[in-house]
Structure 1
């Protein structure tokens, strides 16, 4: 899974980065969605531009031209399946307690179709839970930086019962036991962000379902290696 596209060789979260990931042969791409001042869904990781303005306060026509709309980004992704991360952090200036952005993403994907190609994730559990209630056909994943090892069984059981698809843990917190527990409950593990070939090999041995990486070309070499 190409993290924000082929972000080592192109500017991240741009149509060029997504197109390059497709050229490299990536199976999937990850991108970040926010809502700009004029209401459009745009693809950008940080809540602010480099000049300090918040994405939420700037109309689409006034954003830097390299920032694509979600529609433009998905067009550039071609045949890859796409992990759409909804950015909705209570600590950030564009926090959306009413989940307007989430609802717009769901409406957009309902109209676009090809629902089997989209996996929607967020660090905010309430966001992915809402998606399950709004449109159960969409696949959902919970992003986590840390997770209580003693609660793995309970968390996996709850996520499975709610119909979620995957857990997306930080690679430095990922353990083989975590993979085994979530697989036993029928859930996928897609981990982020790994650029180290040796660690990638270990993750392949653990049978993780997806590796989010800034170097999809190297990841493909590891995955396809006979060793």
Structure 2
């Protein structure tokens, strides 16, 4: 099965993505899933932004939500904007360390409040974060992000042994043999970020 995932929403048509217009655009353009990135502000608000800092260098985790540009949505606003699409929530590991436990708990709590018919996948490059999500709610699907070919096989083994349902690698390191092995372990493979139609066809095959 092949799903179309709108990376940061319909970001090509609504640059730079991770905005309400990009998420609404993903619905309009017929995506199956939306991928977005979440951080926590100093006053405990989950906000959707790719980097831990703003363009002017200010750190998200050191600011209150009221200090942020209006274009940065809360996670709740983002989920509403792309409803009813499935959502891959990436918990970013590069924010303020002291806020991380609260961020993980708040993400789990919010997703638990969503309709049970809606699909979610929580991912991170910090695989300990994924383990912590599962510890809080083993029913919430989780997946391991990977950008390095040398750890891809060991990450797949970790996903299978720890109960994660997916592995999300950079498309350039994926082989047919890897996908076959993942599927044999009942692990979904979600590659990122593929914008070229020929690459899409090759990966789908």
- Could you say what the CA RMSD is over the residues aligned between the two structures, in angstroms? 1.7
Alignment of 1:10-21 (within 5 A): 10-11=14-15, 12-21=17-26
Instruction: Structure 1: state its 5+ residue gaps.
Output: 206-227
For residue 2 of structure 1, the aligned residue among 3, 6, 16 is 6
> In structure 2, what is the equivalent of residue 210 of structure 1?
none
Q: Is the 8 A contact 1:109 1:115 kept in 2?
A: no
> In structure 2, what is the equivalent of residue 222 of structure 1?
none
Supply the distance in 2 between the matched residues of 1:35 and 1:134 (Cα, whole angstroms). 18
Please say if 1:195 is aligned against 2:195. yes
> In structure 1, what is the equivalent of residue 113 of structure 2?
111
Alignment of 1:18-29 (within 5 A): 18-29=23-34
Q: Is the 8 A contact 2:61 2:99 kept in 1?
A: no
TM-score (norm 2): 0.92
How far off its partner does 1:127 sit? 0.3
Alignment of 1:44-63 (within 5 A): 44-63=49-68
Q: Is the 8 A contact 1:116 1:139 kept in 2?
A: no
Supply the distance in 1 between the matched residues of 2:104 and 2:117 (Cα, whole angstroms). 16
Supply the distance in 1 between the matched residues of 2:63 and 2:24 (Cα, whole angstroms). 26
How far off its partner does 1:99 sit? 2.3
What number of residue pairs does the alignment pair up? 200
> In structure 2, what is the equivalent of residue 163 of structure 1?
163
> In structure 2, what is the equivalent of residue 215 of structure 1?
none
Greater relative CO, 1 or 2 (CA 8 Å, sep 6+): 1
TM-score (norm 1): 0.83
Supply the distance in 1 between the matched residues of 2:117 and 2:130 (Cα, whole angstroms). 15
> In structure 2, what is the equivalent of residue 67 of structure 1?
72
> In structure 2, what is the equivalent of residue 221 of structure 1?
none
Instruction: Structure 2: state its 5+ residue gaps.
Output: none
Distance 1:177 1:98, change over 3 A: same
> In structure 2, what is the equivalent of residue 223 of structure 1?
none
How far off its partner does 1:161 sit? 2.8
Supply the distance in 2 between the matched residues of 1:156 and 1:105 (Cα, whole angstroms). 24
How far off its partner does 1:113 sit? 4.1
Distance 1:115 1:99, change over 3 A: farther
